[in-house]
Structure 1
Amino acid sequence: MSDSQPFAWPVRVYWEDTDAGGVVYHASYLRFMERARTEWLRRLGVDQLAFKQATGLAFMVHRMEIDFLRPALLDDELAVAVEVKERRSASILFAQSITRADGAVLIQAQVRAACVDLARMQPARIPEDIIGRIGQG
């Protein structure tokens, strides 16, 4: 169940995002989704570098499931949506989609990000203040 409307981050497709044919290379979508999740956290007031330095924790992708529905092309304007679907004590499940300016849905994905103790490289409980912010997101 979602706590709020999806957050959307705009992206324009550049040459560096495409293959030789001008079609977005599949791994570029991963970068687009990562940037959108980062900007979503930033909007919630979470600076990931400060969070890491203060707590020794970081969010890392644990699992992704992606459906590539339609291609994006050079110079397309895209919106990358982020929506929290589930919160656990040490992870967050996101639903993400990438939509072209004409409304065509190009990508649908489920992404589980785990909170990790960087010293031990083990899952760690998400701090309560972050959970509180996610609830407002």
Structure 2
Amino acid sequence: MTQTAHDVLMGQIEGKRHIYPLVVFYEDTDAGGIVYHANYLAFAERARSAMLNLLGFTNRNVAERHKVAIAVRHCTVDFRRAAQLEDRLTVESRVIKLGGASLGFEQKIMRDGDELVVIEIYLACMSLEELRAQRLPEELRTVFSRYLDVNKD
């Protein structure tokens, strides 16, 4: 299968994992050239959105078609090492939980194979009209079930 330029920007699926490349830009860092802690969550969000896109969806079309949004419910962040200006990083994402109205991901932000930050994040599917939990749309459940990976590395 040939990847389009757009697909290349979205990373790639390898087995049950999504690999998203990124470069640390000046805007991502503090005055010392170290990635600001909150930006790791932004990197992870970008990677999850890119994965969704590669799987044939966007946040916008999910909202329009199903009248739902996927919102962060809970996350833990384990900061192990710092990333710096101009580092080339990857965000490795895998689905670790698939519930009735929820998804869980483990995301590792890595540099040259070294884990810098490990994020465990749980998302809830919410009705846009009532702002209450709602079952994941069946087409999303079907796609994400193909990538469910409960094995610990």
Please say whether Structure 1 and Structure 2 have the same fold, judged by a TM-score greater than 0.5: yes
Count the aligned residue pairs. 133
Bigger relative contact order, structure 1 or 2, given CA contacts below 8 A and separation 6+? 1
The answer to whether the Cα contact below 8 Å between 2:125 and 2:134 also exists between their aligned partners in 1 is: yes
Is 1:111–2:121 an aligned residue pair?
yes
CA displacement 1:23-55 (0-9 Å, x = unmatched): 000011011000000011111111211110121
Q: Which residue of 1 aligns with 2:49?
A: 38
TM-score (normalised: structure 1): 0.94
Q: In the TM superposition, what are the counterparts of 1:49-128 in structure 2 within 5 Å? A: 49-100=60-111, 102-128=112-138
* Displacement over 3 Å in runs of 4+: none
Deviation at 1:79, TM superposition (A): 0.3
CA displacement 1:7-37 (0-9 Å, x = unmatched): 1100100000000000000011011000000
Change (3 A) 1:89 1:68: same
Secondary structure at the residue paired with 1:123? coil
The CA RMSD measured in Å over matched residues stands at 0.9
Which sections of structure 2, spanning at least 5 residues, go unmatched?
1-14, 148-153
Q: Which amino acid aligns with 1:99?
A: M
Q: Percent of counterpart pairs with the same letter?
A: 37
Q: Which amino acid aligns with 1:33?
A: A
Secondary structure at the residue paired with 2:47? helix
